[in-house]
Structure 1
Amino acid sequence: MRLSTLRVTCLSVAALSMFGSFIGNAQTDGLASRPPMGWNSWNHFHRNVDDAAVRAQADAMVSSGMRDAGYVYVNIDDTWQGERDAQGNIQANSRFPDMKALADYVHSKGLKIGIYSSPGALTCAKFAGSLGHEVQDARTYAAWGMDYLKYDLCGLREQMKVAATPEEAHKIMFDAYIKMRDALKATGRPIVYSLCQYGNDAVWRWGTEVGGNLWRTTGDISDKYSSMEAIGFSQAGLAKFAGPGHWNDPDMLEVGNGGMNADEYRTHMSLWAILAAPLLAGNDLSTMTAETKAMLTNRDVIAVDQDAAGKQGDRAWVEGPLEIWVRQLADGSKAVGVFNRHPSPLTTTVDFKALGFTRAVKARDIWQGKDMGTISAPFTAKIPGHGVLFLKVSQ
């Protein structure tokens, strides 16, 4: 959901002093030891998601090979909520007649299921949020069998706007996320906790402290190159805040939704893999083309994203619209993305010594699936407009 007015406030001196005590500490619950992979309903279905659509996506995730490639979560975004009963328990609306049965169906496919709420009284789409019902809602999600919660700040922004100081606004948000963290833990069910608050107050510095397994670092993505580019390349410098159990989240994938060309979608996938970002597909899996399926299930790309070392990559070099991003991998190799942000093809030279290699390297072109042999000198390549050369490089 879009937060129409981002309120970026400053952390108090006390909060900043606390920063060093928790940053970099992995979650102790074992959840999200690698960036979550799956599907979310919002980018394609928006308000039109229902029980049948979710079941169809679960079926397609299996039949397409996505499950076997590592995609696990089938996540329902906003607009599933109905009214609360006399005891205050949240009910699903008529489009979801039996959430427990739906969760059981998804689980029967060897998959997991996720749900959405807000710390405010209402969600972004003006459905019931969790304010004042955090414990009840967490218990309901656990009873239904939910495995993942996306918790969207949207509904809390009015309270934050009237706060007397930026520090007070931050505390309202901070405390709201802690309240749901504690409610989820009290259920005893392992539920991945996804903070959706658009990077407010530099969430990457404190997301772990409030229990986040992942946190949005940006506003909402859309199916346009300009949106994906602005979000993806803005992640420079955030690598030190990510690791097993706590990931930076530059938002969901748009691959296959039709607003970008193949080179642009490959840039999207490559950059998200280097960023150790969650890979949450946002297209209709039941109707996707063979090309889209091949991109989403490319095992070499997924291997980079899911690398066991859990080290997010970062920008290593830039020259105008040309950028090189590098990610250190567990086996000692590096994933290298050579990106061209210009709409026309450009030629550039990659000096592997400048990327930390001391002698000749072996390289594999990830998208071509081809070994490039031994490279002993700076390597010149022509990169398509808005495209990428994605390599795995070893000494």
Structure 2
Amino acid sequence: MHERKKLLRTTIAAVTAGVVALSIGLAGAGTAAATEETPPPDTPAATEAPSPEPGTDARTPTPDPADPAELATKPYLGWSSYSMQVYSGDSKWITADQIIAQSDAMHEKLQPFGYDHINVDSGWNGSVDGNGLPVPSAELYPDGLQTVIDHVHANGQKFGLYFIPGISPDVYEQALPIAGAPECTTHDIVKQPIQQADYWNIGYRLDFANPCSQKYIDSIANLLDTWGVDFVKFDSVTPGSGISDLSLDARDDVSAWSQALHSRGIWFELSWALDINYADYWKEKADGWRVDWDVECYCAHEALTTWENIDRLFPRMADWWRHGGPGGWNDLDSLDVGNGSMDGLTRDERRTATTLWAISAAPMYLGNDLTQLDQFGLDLVTNKEVLAVNQAGTPAQPVSIATKKQVWYALNADGTYTVALFNLGRTDADITANWADLGLAGGASVRDLWAGKNLGSADTGFTADDVPIHGVRLLKVTPAKKANLTVNDDSLRVSYDGDWARNGNTEVAATSQPLTVSVFDSSTGAAPPATPADGRTVAVNDNDPGIVYTGSWGQSGNRGLGDFNDDVHYVEANGSSFQYTFQGTGIDYVTETHESQGDVDVYLDGVFQQTVSTHLDPSQGRGVQVAVWSASDLPNGSHTLQVVKKSGAFMLLDKLDVTLESLLSTSTAVFDQAPGAGADVAVEVLRDPGELAGLSHDGAALVAGTDYDVSGSTITIRSAYLATLPTGDAVIDVAFRGDLHDDVHATSTNGDSVSFAFRGTGVSWSGPTGPDQGTVEVRLDGAVVATVDTHSDARLTAQPLFSSDDLRDGDHTITVVKTSGTLLRHDAFSYTVKKVK
């Protein structure tokens, strides 16, 4: 697929006045017309003119640009051309007539609902001028691109264009003078020795150590400003765009463009599949960033997209959601849900896609032909309650993605929750949202936003019956009077002042360790069993729901080749990957080695580790359950393994072996069920016993005081319970609690603080204590109300640290300030509402 995209972009570049794609001036201007990714978001959200009321005429010039800091206060609503360029199979689809037609259709059908961005993707330019600046295609825009821009502006809309990093070889060779900087030429600004600037190797990399490079970018931004361009999509940004090993690094380009565009009030959108390890950089420099690959299916004249391209976004947003919000937005690419069968999605899938964009607070820019919107699609994208969810700007998070019945939620600033129940499975299913999973204690009223219907009240949760395959229910949940709401440390509503960092091995995750008890009965003549295997190593089979597969993976079972559990997952396309987040101190990637396999790239916690060969010479046959890469002695905590296919016919995953921290004095025991022979099984807990969450076997909880006892650090499992187990190995899970959502924020600087603003009658603060922590000062509404000692001999989680339940109903702010100790960790605030209005 990537090669087809590259070919399309290259073709567009070649037909653009015969000029080799001019990265910045040309290729960047759109000559590289089919970027290996997808279309970008369009233009600023908060700088645009207010949407007209239905029935009014909005054909007035756009106002002057807003302050750049105000650009991204909300995700923008609009349209982008790239999906139709791909669908039509015609890179020249973006003619003046087409763009004007899309603008007029938006003005008529969508603008009353807030849609007002028109973005023209790659292929819009035709040549360069004497200063190396892009010249729009005279073939596409015979009356000039300015005429099109003016028409869009007269419709009360914003206008956007497309660029990529670097500069074309042709412009480099011509050594053209840079506008406004006569001392500089386009030959001066290329980094030496010459290096590739973009994914497709269209242009040369710029040398930003030379001030002339910034001046060249400024000259382009100045030209765009004189045209009235409101938005720039900047494509092929690395790390990202399929390359994250820093062999290509466009961060200097991003910085230069950010400076040039933001000083002129122009929205700056990055694309594509940006590397999340640099999320803070993207947030500092841009107004939005694409989080994944193109949404288009690259099946011209057949469909715009496919369900698979929507489905893969869920695990991506499970990682990215916390990085979006006012000031910069996670971009999911074009929303192709408005043209009926042409979309490539069923009606339920179209509604699900629209819901995902809405709850993610992602820019909602359609990729459809706006002149052919069907009524169902129009109803989807103009539902006022759903659009309000998007414009509230609070990205939702999942309760868990280790299931096909997913619950996503967001706590809004007004105290209501947005809750989406997604059925990503293959059969209709009931899906339940438990209020406790959302941080809500107390009842709530429920409204179905797609149906526009109030559903009544629910005390502990809500179940949506028979959610269709790939369908969704979208709810507004309003807490009842005196409900208590818990806000995790990574909520957008929590503000940090100082040098705070998330996790960094300062967190403790909820975890469990298996105690394997070998049960036998000597009275039957059975011999004592061998000591069970060490329970510190846990095998995670390839079908574990916690493994996130990206690409078109298949599963093969019953091969009879010695696979673990007799099954494997496999994929053929290079660039496909799997990802698994685990709690522990080590992991092994176990797979098959064979002549059909090739190289894979291994990443741990986002850092490239090495390229591993899974190829085996044909003379050596087949390797079975081979640990081709291992990590050990990691800091105990949360880690993420990602493996990416690089070469070969196939990449396989058989299992992952995870090494757990030792939490028990022993991980094995033997129990004899013969009359009078069995004895209680005792095990010492190597973590503070107050952190024990419980014991279970086969998903059923053991009863404290009946099935087991805890005294000090000793767990004793009673023989009466063990006697009920069948002979063989019984795995008893010993569970320990962790920080809320397995994460914390931490700082080492005295005077740093964390604050939370709320409306209610009570508030509390809970979190970790530990030997590296000290005292904090708690303030309510600016007044110091308590000093709290967060020191303890052992690292403890979820400790009650402060509470006040006698506040007057109204707006309040709690602030916690570090005053001593090595670290301050923050986990959660909770507050009580009198009534959510």
Judge same fold: TM > 0.5, yes or no. yes
Q: Distance in 2 between matches of 1:377 and 1:344?
A: 26
Report what 1:255 is aligned to.
Answer: 337
Q: Aligned in 2, Cα 1:232/1:101: closer, same or farther, shift over 3 Å?
A: farther
* Deviation at residue 204 of structure 1 after TM alignment: 2.2
Determine if contact 2:272/2:290 at 8 Å carries over to the other structure: yes
259-268 vs 37-46, greater mean Cα deviation: 37-46
1:107 aligns with 2:116: no
Secondary structure in 2 matching 1:35: coil
Match of 1:281 among 339, 361, 366: 366
The answer on 1:183 being equivalent to 2:229 is no
CA distance in 2, matches of 1:129, 1:255: 38
* Counterpart residue number, 1:44: 84
Q: Do the aligned residues in 1 keep the contact of 2:240 with 2:272 (CA within 8 Å)?
A: no
Aligned ranges 1:113-132 → 2 under 5 Å = 113-121=159-167
| Cα distance in structure 1, aligned partners of 2:337 and 2:204 | 29
Aligned equivalent of 1:11: none
Query: Separation in 1 of the partners of 2:245 and 2:373?
Result: 45
Residue by residue, what CA displacement relative to the aligned partner does 1:255-287 show, whole Å, maximum 9, x if unpaired?
A: 124200111011111111111111111101111
SS in 1 for 2:350: helix
Q: Is the CA contact (8 Å cut-off) linking 1:120 and 1:154 kept in structure 2? A: no
Hey, what's the Cα distance between the residues in 2 that align with 1:73 and 1:130? 30
Matched residue type, 1:69: F
**Residue in 1 that maps onto 2:746:** none
C-alpha distance in structure 1 between counterparts of 2:69 and 2:318, whole Å: 28
Aligned residue number for residue 216 of structure 1: 290
- Name the residue aligned to 1:192: 267
Per-residue deviation, residues 40-59 of structure 1 (Å, max 9, x unmatched): 00012342111111111111
1:393 to 477, 484, 488: 477
CA deviations over 1:41-85 (Å, ceiling 9, x no partner): 001234211111111111111111x11111111000111011001
- Following TM superposition, by how much is the alpha carbon of 1:155 offset from its aligned partner in structure 2, in angstroms? 10
Once the 2 structures are TM-superposed, how far is the Cα of residue 299 of structure 1 from its aligned partner? 0.9
Look up the match of 2:709.
Answer: none
Deviation at 1:100, TM superposition (A): 1.8
Matches within 5 A, 1:339-358: 339-358=422-441
Counterparts of 1:135 and 1:329, CA distance in 2: 39
Q: Secondary structure at the match of 2:293?
A: coil
Residues 119, 156 of structure 1: 8 Å contact kept: no
User: Which amino acid counterpart does residue 291 of structure 1 have in structure 2?
Assistant: F
Instruction: Indicate conservation of the 8 Å contact 2:105/2:371, yes or no.
Output: yes
Q: Secondary structure at the match of 2:259?
A: helix
Among 63, 72, 77, the alignment partner of 2:108 is: 63
User: Is 2:162 the partner of 1:88?
Assistant: no
Q: Judge conservation of contact 2:163–2:235 (CA < 8 Å) in 1.
A: yes
Greater RCO, CA 8 A, separation 6+:
1
Letter in 2 for 1:254: D
- Runs (4 or more) in structure 1 with deviation over 4 Å come to 122-133, 154-158
Give 1:304's aligned residue: 389
SS in 1 for 2:83: helix
Q: CA deviation at 1:33?
A: 0.6
1:235 is aligned with what amino acid? M
Matches of 2:368 and 2:202, distance apart in 1: 23
One-letter amino acid of the counterpart of residue 218, structure 1: D
Deviates more, 1:229-238 or 1:29-38: 229-238
| Counterpart code for 2:135 | Q
Q: 1:130 to 1:111 in 2, by over 3 A?
A: farther
2:350 is matched with which residue?
A: 265
After superposition, what is the alpha-carbon deviation per residue over 1:11-60, rounded to whole angstroms, capped at 9, x for unaligned?
xxxxxxxxxxxxxxxx9621011011110000123421111111111111
Please state whether the residue corresponding to 1:193 is helix, strand or coil. Answer: strand
Runs of at least 5 residues in structure 1 that lack an aligned partner in the other structure: 5-26
Give the number of the structure whose residues are more often strand, by fraction.
2
- 1:123-142 superposed Cα distances (whole Å, 9 cap, x missing partner): 88998999664223212211
| CA gap 1:74/1:124 in 2 versus in 1, 3 angstroms | farther
The SS at the match of 1:235 is helix
Q: Match for residue 19 of structure 1? A: none
> Which whole-Å CA distance do the structure 2 matches of 1:156 and 1:83 have between them?
29
Q: Would the alpha carbon gap of residues 252 and 126 (structure 1) be closer, same or farther in structure 2, given more than 3 Å must change?
A: farther
* Structure 2 counterpart SS, 1:96: coil
* Counterpart-to-counterpart distance in 1, 2:230 and 2:278: 23
Secondary structure of the corresponding residue to residue 43 of structure 1: helix
Secondary structure at 2:234's aligned position in 1? strand
What is the rounded CA distance, in whole Å, between the counterparts of 1:372 and 1:227 in structure 2?
Answer: 32
Compared CA separation, residues 126 and 137, structure 1 to 2 (3 A): farther
SS of the residue 1:342 aligns to: coil
* Separation (CA, whole Å) in 2 of partners of 1:72 and 1:232: 27
Contact 2:276–2:320 under 8 Å retained in 1: no
Amino acid at match of 1:40: S
2:35 and 2:235 in contact (8 A); partners too: no
Shift of 1:353: 3.3
Alignment of 1:230 with 2:263, yes or no, is: no
Query: Which one-letter code corresponds to 2:124 in the other structure?
Result: W
SS at match of 2:98: helix
Deviations 1:70-113 (A, max 9, x none): 11110001110110012322101120231222111111111111
C-alpha spacing 1:192/1:28, structure 2 compared with 1 (3 Å) = closer
Contact 2:240 2:274 in 1 (8 A): no
State the distance in 1 between where 2:476 and 2:221 align.
42
Task: Assess, with a 3 A threshold, how the Cα gap between structure 1 residues 335 and 95 changes in structure 2: closer, same or farther.
Answer: same
| Displacement of 1:217 | 1.2
The alpha-carbon deviation at position 219 of structure 1 amounts to 1.2
Matches within 5 A, 1:319-334: 320-334=403-417
- Higher fraction of helix: 1
CA distance in 2, matches of 1:137, 1:347: 54
Which structure has the greater CA radius of gyration?
Answer: 2
Residue 218 of structure 1: how far off its partner (Å)? 1.0
Which of 54, 70, 75 is matched with 1:35 structurally?
75
Structure 1 counterpart of 2:251, from 159, 165, 174 = 174
Which amino acid in structure 2 is aligned with residue 58 of structure 1?
S
User: In the alignment, is the contact (CA less than 8 A) between 1:117 and 1:130 conserved in 2?
Assistant: no
Count of residue pairs the alignment pairs up: 361
In the TM superposition, what is the alpha-carbon distance from 1:157 to its structure 2 partner? 9.5
- The answer to whether the 8 Å contact 1:82/1:128 transfers is no
In 1, distance between residues paired with 2:314 and 2:111? 25
Tell me the equivalent position of 2:535: none
Aligned to 1:3: 36
Residue 739 (structure 2) aligns with: none
AA aligned opposite 1:71: Y
> Counterparts of 1:79 and 1:127 in 2: how far apart (Å)?
14
